[in-house]
Amino acid sequence: MNNKTFPLSRLSRGVATASLLTAGLAASASAQALTVISFGGASGDAMEAAYYGPFQESTGVDLTPGDYNGELARIRAMVETGNVSWDLVEMESPELVRGCFEGLFEPIDWERLGLRDQLIDSAVTDCGVGTFVWSTVLAYNADELDAAPSSWEDFWNVEDFPGKRGLRRGAKYTLEFALMADGVPAGEVYDVLATDEGVDRAFAKLDEIKDDIQWWEAGAQPPQWLVAGDVVMTSSYNGRIAAAQEEGNDLEIVWNGSLYDLDYWAIVSGSDYVDEAYDFIEFASQPENQAVYSSEIPYGPVHPDAIGQLEDAQARRMPTHDENMAGALAIDTAFWVSYGEELEQRFNAWAAQ
Amino acid sequence: MSSTSADGGAASPPEASLKSRLRRAERLRKVKAIGLVAPLALFLIVVFVVPIGNMLTSSIDNGSLPEVMPETAATLKQWDGEGLPDEAAFASFAEELRGSRRGGGLGSVGRRLNYEDPEYRGLLMRTMMGLPQASDDWQQALIEIDPAWGETETWRGIQNAAPPYTGRYLLASLDLERGADGDVQRVDQQDRLYQAVFQRTMVIAGGVTLICLALGFPLAYLLATLPAKTSNLLMILVLLPFWTSLLVRTAAWIILLQSNGLANQSLMALGIIESPLQLVFNRIGVFFAMVHILLPFMVLPLYSVMKGISPSYQRAAVSLGAHPFAAFWQVYVPQTVSGVAAGTILVFIMALGYYITPALVGGPADQMVSYYVAYYTNTTNNWGMAASLGSILLVVTLLLYLVYHRLVNRKQMIRS
C-alpha cells in the first residue's frame, strides 16, 4: 500500500498497530511457542478439536490459537515492522497468491515436508499447504422440481426446469459455469476463458438466461432462497447447503461441474518457529486428523485417505469424495488474480445493461 | 482658530480612547467568537476537508510505481518509447524490483501495472524468481528470464505508469480512455458502465425524493393540523422506523416482498394476482425500501415549518371568497416552500449516497455509484477508481445543489 491512502486505511492501520501492540504484549506475557491463526467460527472450533489440542498432546509444543478475518494488511504490517507474532496463518487462495508475490510468506520446502505426492494436487503451492476444500455447487430444492437437474446445462434449460435461478453476482464462478453449460469440459474451462473469444462465448451463454437469474452476494442467501421457494436452483457454497439440510430441508447438491477451492496454511515470513510450524502442518495433513476435522464440519480433507476414515454419509458430503470430484474443477486463483479486475468490469457492465 | 484647535485638542483624547476601547471590545468579541467556533472548525477540517481533499488527490494519484521504483521512473521519463530503453533503465529496474519485495511495494506496483495489461503480475513474479544476484548485462539477463522484456510494449506499459499523476481513473469513471495515439476516446461498447450508473443514481435519488414529497406532504399536513394528542401518537409511528436499524428495515422488506412473502401471498389470497409478482431484487424493491427509510427526513422539516403557519391566513382567504383549494394552493403552500426545499434537498442528497439498501434489495441494474465505490475500495483495492467515482459524484452533487439553490431562492424572492 502506498503512503497516499484513504483516511479509513490510516484508521485501520492505527487499529492494526494497536492490536499488534496488544498481541505483542500478550506474547511476551505468556511465553508461547507456536501461534496459529485461523478464521475462527465453526471451522476454528473444528480445528481446535482436530488439530490444536491433539498436536499439543502428541508433541508437547505449546500452541496459541487465534483468529482473524483474513486481512493481508495485518500480516504485512508484522513482516514490515519485523515484529512477527503470528507464525502460521490460514489463508484463502487469492490472498495467499498475493502475499506470496509480495514475500510475506516463507516459501514451502516440499522436500522437507515430504507430502507432495500424498495430498491432492491443488494443495501443493509455493507458499501454502492446503488444509481443506470447500466448493461452489449447483443446489436445488427437490420439493419444487419434478425432475432432478444433473448439470449446468440443465441449469440453463429454462423450458424443462422453469423458475428463477440464483448465481453469485460477479464474474468469478459465473463465467466458469456458463462455459460448462455451453459444453466446455471442466478441464478446459480456463484455457477457453483465457481467450477473448472464450469470454465472449461465456457472456453470450449468460445472455440466454439473463432474465431468469436472481443474483446473490452473501453465502447465506442461496439456501434461504431455495427454502423460501424464491429460486428453484442456485449456485451455492456446499457447507451452507449441508447446514440447511441438517435443519431438515429437502435440498440437493449436484456435484458435477462444481468449482472447488482450498484454504491453506502459510508460514509468516520471519517467524521464529518455522520448525514447529512444519511439524504442525505435517500433523494437520495426516489423514486421521483431517478426518476428525471433516467430521466436525462438511469441508473436504486434502488427504485422499482421510475420506475412507469418515462415516459413509459424512464422506459423501465432502467435495473431495471420489464421486464428487468427478467433473469438478479447481478454481484457478492465478488466473483470477491476473484477469479478475478486467472480467469483473466487463461483468458489471453486462449485468447493468 | 486657536480656541477651536484647543477645543479640538481637548476633545480628541477621550474620543480616541473611546475608539480604542470600542476596538478592544470588538477584538475581544471576535476572539471569543473564534474561540467558540474553533473546535467545530478544527473538527470539520480534520474529518471533512482533509479527507475530501485526500480523496480528490487520490483520484489522480499514480504514486505506486514512482514511489517504489523512483530511478526506473526517472530513467524511463527520458526514453523516447522506440526500441528498448538503455542498460541503465534495465539495471535500475532489476535492482528496484528486488528491493520492492519489502513493504508491499511489489504488490502495489503489480496492481498498477495490471491495469495496463493483466500479464504484468505474472511477468513480475517470474522475473522476481529468476533474478540473479548481480549481472554485467541486465538487459541480457532479464530477456533470458522472460522474452517479454525484449519487447517495446512491455516497457511502454511501465512508462505509462511512471508519471506521478494520471487522468486514467477520472476518464475511466466516465467510460473514457486514452487510445494508442493518446487521444481521448470512448471505451468499447461492452465495457461502458459508469455513465449509465451516474444517470441511474440521479434517477433513483430523484424518484425517491418525489415519492417522499408526495407521501410526506399530506402526512406532515395532517400531523400539523391534528390536535396535539393524536398528532404525537402519529409522530411516534413516523419516528419508530426512524429509530430502527437500517439493516433490519431492509431485511424486513426482503421478507415482505419476496415471492412467497406477505405482500405476494396477500395479493394472491385476495385474487388480485395469480402468480407471484417480482417485487424485490429489482427497481421496485429499491424504491419501496428507500422511500420507507428516507420518509422521516421529508416529514420532519415539513412538519416543523407547517407547525409555524397560522391557520388564520387560510381562513381569512376563504372568508374573503377564495375557493378552499385556491386558499390552500395560493396561501398555504407558498409558506411551506422552505420546508419543502429543506426536505427535498436532504432526501435527495442522502439518497445519492445510498449503498446498503440497493445492494441488498436491488438487482445488478439497480446499483448506484456508492456500490462501485465500495466495490473498488474493498474488493479490488483500486482506490484510484473509487476516489474518482466519488469525486465525480461530489462535483455533480455540488452542481445540482447550486442550481437548486438558485431556483429555490428565486421562488422565495418572488414570493416576498
Strand, coil or helix: B310: coil
Better-predicted residue by pLDDT, B49 or A25? B49
Cell numbers given for B144 = 533470458
What long-range pairs does B93-99 form, CB within 8 A, spacing at least 24? B93/B69, B93/B138, B93/B142, B93/B158, B94/B131, B94/B135, B94/B138, B94/B141, B94/B142, B95/B71, B96/B68, B96/B69, B96/B70, B96/B71, B96/B72, B97/B69, B97/B124, B97/B127, B97/B128, B97/B131, B98/B128, B98/B131
Q: How many domains does chain B have?
A: 3
Q: What is the pLDDT of residues B8-26, one digit of tens each?
A: 444 556 677 889 999 999 9
Contacting residues for A166 by C-beta, under 8 A, at least 6 apart: A213, A214, A215, A216, A221, A222, A225, A226, A230, A231, A233, A234, A235, A236
**Separation CA B387–CA A6 (nearest Å):** 9
Residues of B within 8 A of A193 (CB-CB) are none
Q: Same structural domain for residues B346 and B258? A: yes
Question: What are the distances in angstroms from CA A70 to CA A74, A94, A95, A280, B402?
Answer: 9, 11, 8, 20, 44
Q: Which residue has the higher pLDDT, B15 or A65?
A: A65
DSSP, res B174: T
Residue B158 belongs to a domain: yes
* Strand pairing class (A165-168; A233-237): parallel
Instruction: Give me the pLDDT at residue B14, please.
Output: 67
- B54 and B83 both lie in a single domain: no
Q: Which of A1, A164, A342 sits opposite B118 (nearest CB)?
A: A342
Q: Same domain for B44 and B136?
A: no
Is residue A220 very low, low, confident or very high in pLDDT (cuts 50, 70, 90)? confident
Asked whether residue B188 is assigned to any structural domain, the reply reads: no
Confidence of residue B259 (pLDDT cuts 50, 70, 90): confident
* Inter-chain CB proximity A103 and B106 less than 8 Å: yes
Looking at the complex, does the CB of residue A158 fall below 8 Å from at least one CB of chain B? no
> Do B45 and B89 belong to one domain?
no
Question: Does any domain span residue B3?
Answer: no
Is there a contact between A306 and A287 (Cβ–Cβ < 8 Å)? yes
Q: What angle do CA B180, B186, B191 make, to 5 degrees?
A: 100
Specify which of A21-25, A271-275, B177-181 reaches the highest per-range mean pLDDT: A271-275
Cell of B202: 440521479
All residues at 6 or more sequence positions from B329 whose CB lies less than 8 Å from its CB, including other chains? none
Sign of CA dihedral A272, A275, A279, A284: positive
| Residue B258 belongs to some domain of the structure | yes
- Domains detected in chain A: 34-133+262-316 (3.40.190.10), 135-260+329-352 (3.40.190.10)
| Ramachandran category for residue A300: left, alpha or beta (phi over 0 → left; psi -120 to 50 → alpha) | beta
pLDDT higher than threshold 60 for residue A73: yes
Choosing from B10, B45, B61, the residue where a domain stops is: B61
Contact with chain B for residue A103, Cβ under 8 A: yes
Residues B43 and B86 in one domain: no
Q: C-alpha cell of A166?
A: 440464483
A13 close to B (CB below 8 A): no
Nearest to A255 by CA among A130, A168, A148, A121: A148
Say whether residue B258 is in contact with chain A using an 8 A CB cutoff: yes
- In angstroms, the CA B53 to CA B83 distance is 40
| Cross-chain Cβ contact B372/A348 below 8 Å | yes
pLDDT tens, residue by residue, B107-148: 888 888 988 888 898 898 888 888 888 888 888 899 999 999
Compute the average pLDDT of residues A242-269: 93
CA distance B298 to B315: 26
Chain B residue numbers with beta carbons less than 8 Å from the beta carbon of A341 are 114-115, 118, 380, 382
Q: Is B271 exposed, middle or buried (0-12, 13-18, 19+ CB in 10 A)?
A: exposed
Hey, what amino acid is at B310? Answer: S
Chain A contacts in chain B segment 80-109 (CB below 8 A):
101-104, 106-108
Whether B7 is covered by a domain: the verdict is no
Q: Which residues contact B192 (CB under 8 A, 6 or more apart)?
A: A349, B175, B186
In the predicted structure, residue A19 carries a pLDDT above the cut 60? no
High-pLDDT (> 70) share of chain B, % = 95
CA–CA gap between residue A290 and residue A283 (Å, rounded): 9
pLDDT at B311: 87
B324 pLDDT above the threshold of 50: yes
B242/chain A closest Cα distance in angstroms? 26
Distance between CA A329 and CA B325 in Å, rounded? 70
What integer pLDDT is reported at residue B31 of this predicted model? Answer: 94
B221 lies in the same domain as B240? yes
By Cβ distance, the residue of B50, B107, B380 closest to A101 is B107
Do the Cβ atoms of A273 and A286 come closer than 8 Å? no
The cell numbers describing A343, all together, are 472480467
Place of cell 528470464: B145
Mean pLDDT of chain A: 88
Q: Give every CB contact of residue B305 below 8 A, 6+ residues apart in sequence.
A: B335, B336, B338, B339, B342
Q: What is the pLDDT of residue B130?
A: 84
Q: Which of B61, B89, B109 is the last residue of a domain?
A: B61
pLDDT at A326 > cutoff 70: yes
Q: Which residues, other chains included, contact B229 with Cβ-Cβ below 8 Å and sequence gap of 6+?
A: none
A342 and chain B in contact, CB less than 8 A: yes
Phi, psi of A54 (to 5 degrees): -60, -35
pLDDT over 80 (residue A56): yes
Tell me what the mean pLDDT of segment A128-151 comes to: 93
Q: Per the domain annotation, does B189 fall within a domain? A: no
DSSP class of residue B187?
P
**pLDDT tens for residues A187-201?**
999 999 999 999 999
Q: Are residues B296 and B370 in the same domain?
A: yes
B47 shares its domain with B112 = no
Cell numbers 456458463 correspond to A178
Amino acid, res. B215:
L
| Structural domain harbouring B43 | 23-61
Nearest chain B residue to A347, by CA:
B191
User: How many other CB atoms are there within 10 angstroms of residue A122's CB atom?
Assistant: 18
Please check whether residue A90 is in contact with residue A39, taking contact to mean a CB–CB distance below 8 angstroms: yes
- The tens digit of pLDDT for each residue in B369-384 reads 999 999 888 777 788 9
pLDDT at A233 exceeding the cut of 60: yes
- Which residues lie below 8 Å from residue B277, measured CB to CB, with a gap of 6+? B264, B267
B57 and B68 share one domain? no
Is residue B177 in some structural domain?
no
Cβ distance B356 to B292 under 8 Å? no
User: Is the pLDDT confidence value at A15 over 60?
Assistant: no
DSSP-assigned letters across all residues of B77-93: HH--SSS---HHHHHHH
Same domain? For B318 and B227 the reply is: yes
The verdict on B213 and B93 lying in the same domain is no
Partners of B365 on chain A (C-beta within 8 Å) are 351-353
The whole-angstrom separation of Cα B242 and Cα B124 is 52
Put simply, whether A339 touches B (Cβ < 8 Å) is yes
CB of A270 less than 8 A from some CB of B: no
Average pLDDT estimate for A324-335: 91
